Amino acid sequence: MLVSEKSRNQTNQKEIGRGDLMDLWFSEFHTPSVKLAIKVSKQLYSGKSDFQQIDVFESPEFGRFLTLDGYMMLTQKDEFIYHEMMVHVPMCVHPDARKALVIGAGDGGVVRELVRYDSIEHIDVVEIDEEVVEVAKKYLPFTACGFDDPRVKFHFEDGLKYVRHHEDEYDLILVDSTDPFGPGEGLFTKEFYGNCYTALKEDGIMVNQNESPFYANDARAMQRAHKRIHANFPICRVYQAHIPTYPSGHWLFGFASKKYHPVRDMHAADWKSLGIETKYYNTNLHRGAFALPNYVQKLLEAMEELPGNDTTTTLNGGAKHASADEKKNGGKS
């Protein structure tokens, strides 16, 4: 999942702060002058993989929560918001998604939501750090419960390298990456998004976690990602959700498609007929999530209008590329 820009880590620690005797707190700095603090009951796991520090804590308010390199990835109390919005939005739009690629998602929340669809025939999960998956299986069964589904196949490798070797294969790509530094850095590049375009079928959809627009460093990371996706896809929209333990609580997702508009092409009646019970997502919320605050629209439009973008754009209608050949070449410049 996520957190935000690397500069926060200058003051952020994988910190258990001690106040009164046995009064333990996990703290994460969202900016040098703003931090989130959660009281901890106990630490369930601490270990260092080849890629990152992995910790699992128990807390009175948020239940179990996972951190990577000291950054909050998910909590038991609010993870459903992120995972439902990552999966059900594109699944309500694509009329016949059968093969999905999930990049990241070692905690299992995205897979848990995907396997609820009988129409999904195969899910490739590309996770660079196998240790995260093993920790999730043991300590986070509420998210890792879909890993044993026979439709799920794991690939423990770099997502950037994996997607280079696939073309016209997936109906859906879900990029559940960490932040744009460390193990997840390559998943925010123009090359990666271009390769995702190529890996999708002619009517494929890509959804990515798109950071927060609120704090300045996070907003810059969001803008960079949007600019690069917008340069590769003819339809590029952004939607939002409220996730209490992520920086500012205001979190964005990117919706990029070769064919389908995320609101005009949604199949609300068909999705409701599936009878999937959710705690956050519904089809009315789906429509409303794409209605962004003015300050967010301005941040996005500033990236779409930069010189050198090979697109003519409108936030409501998506972008039109100069040629199909440019898109197939990954939009590289």
In whole angstroms, give the CA distance from residue 268 to residue 288: 13
Q: How far is CA 313 from the centre of its chain?
A: 24
Alpha-carbon span 273 to 186, nearest angstrom = 38
List Cα–Cα distances, 178 to 115, 119, 229, 230, 249, in angstroms: 22, 28, 17, 20, 16
The CA distance from 228 to 303, in Å, is: 9
Q: How far is CA 174 from CA 204, 216, 249, 332, in A?
A: 11, 26, 21, 21
Q: Tell me how far apart the alpha carbons of residues 203 and 259 are, in angstroms, rounded to a whole number.
A: 5
Catalytic, out of 55, 78, 171, 176: 176
Residues contacting 170, CB < 8 A, separation 6+? 99, 100, 101, 124, 199, 200, 201, 204
Query: Is-catalytic flag, 176?
Result: yes
Structure tokens at 330: 């990954």
Which pairs from 216-220 meet CB under 8 Å and 24+ separation? 216/31, 217/4, 217/5, 217/7, 217/8, 217/31, 218/4, 218/5, 218/247, 218/248, 219/299, 220/5
Active site residues: 176
